[in-house]
Copies of this chain bind each other. A is one copy, B any other.
Amino acid sequence: MNAPLRNDTFLRACLRQPTEYTPLWLMRQAGRYLPEYNATRARAGSFMGLATSPQYATEVTLQPLERYALDAAILFSDILTVPDAMGLGLSFAAGEGPRFAKPVRDEASVAALAVPDMDRLRYVFDAVTSIRKALAGRVPLIGFSGSPWTLACYMVEGAGSDDYRLVKSMLYARPDLMHRILDINARAVAAYLNAQIDAGAQAVMVFDSWGGVLADGAFQAFSLDYTRRVVSALKREADGRRVPVIVFTKGGGLWLEQIAACGADVVGLDWTMGLGRARALVDDRVALQGNLDPNVLFAPPEAVAREAVAVLDAFGSPQRADGRWGGHVFNLGHGISQYTPPEHVTALVEAVHSHSRRLRR
């Protein structure tokens, strides 16, 4: 039996219910900008040592909450756990990004793909249960996964890419193979997120980190359509509470209205789309999450506060003239940089909480 939730501001904002202030959390909030994170990581030996240990994952997930008055925790994990469980052989070389030993690049390797047994991801669900228990009702816990398309990018490229040549070559030359990968990924991601919800996640987020690299038309067919399938297959209630679903397509501002119709409760935005314009486009049919440029956090605290206020003002008061509420979850438009001075985050949290209270008066 989990402890009752003491701060549900984040969940209420996701569902466009009244809140006293605008909740915030930060993508990658448990990360290398925190000395205590680096200390734990050193003890764990590696990033995967951290991510595969429920105990370490719990420890680092809670670290930013000790420093900052954040309104949500997010599972510490990696977006590539699912293709790793498919047998692609994930590794992280020192100083480099992720790499798959067996990328999926031909008909035979696509034919061999299958939705993995969720038991192979047990360490993730154990981490969710452990973190939820350790949180003891302090703030809600967000689970997450990469989107089917974003996972496919890594599965085909075998690593990060700056031009997506291999995955787009397959998309344009063999759309049948690409659709097969995406179909498997969509079923795997849905099962993965549902198991996280069963394990205790109180909201889930789909990171469509690479949706924005697709051409108009290709985005809808190869990314959004599969994200929609995932969203429609998710459990939406746990412990008698709605489990909000957040979809974040980096660089997806041009497709905001279509993304907002995918069934998610919340759409994440990066900094290229003004929140006022975004809110007008979706007319509060979904909540919005975002969208400070994480590079703002390199500026002095006064500038951080000024830019945070600008983001809040762009959204405006969530209270509408017609009595309904919109929902805004403050966040960055991308993960926080490892070079961020931790004390600048203090200034950010303070500015968001205090100014958003003023906005509601």
Contacts and interface: CB of A to CB of B under 8 A. Distances in A.
Interface string A295-319: 1101110010001001000000000
B271 A215 contact: yes
B215 A298 contact: no
Interface of A: 162-165, 168-169, 172-173, 212, 214-219, 251, 253-254, 271-274, 277, 291, 293, 295-296, 298-300, 303, 307, 310, 333, 337, 339
Contact of A303 (B172, B215, B298, B337): B172
A95 to B, nearest CB: 14
A165 B339 contact: yes
Contacts of A253: 253-254
Nearest to A304: B172
A298 B339 contact: no
* Central interface residue in A162, A212, A272, by most chain B CB within 10 Å: A272
Nearest to A276: B216
Given A172-B296, A254-B253, A298-B168, A163 B337 contact: yes
A65 B291 CA distance: 45
A169 B299 contact: yes
12 contacts: A165-B298, A168-B296, A169-B295, A169-B298, A169-B299, A172-B295, A172-B303, A173-B300, A214-B272, A216-B272, A216-B273, A216-B277
Nearest to A339: B165
Given A253-B254, A272-B251, A298 B173 contact: yes
* Central interface residue in A162, A217, A291, by most chain B CB within 10 Å: A217
Given A254-B254, A273-B254, A295-B168, A173 B303 contact: yes
Contacts of A254: 253-254, 272-273
B295 A216 contact: no
A164 B272 contact: no
A109 B234 CA distance: 55
A271 B215 CA distance: 5
A136 B92 CA distance: 55
A288 to B, nearest CB: 13
Nearest to A165: B295
* Central interface residue in A216, A299, A307, by most chain B CB within 10 Å: A216
Contacts of A251: 251, 272
Contacts of A298: 165, 168-169, 172-173
Nearest to A211: B272
B310 A217 contact: yes
A27 to B, nearest CB: 14
Contacts of A172: 295-296, 298-299, 303, 307
Contacts of A337: 163, 165
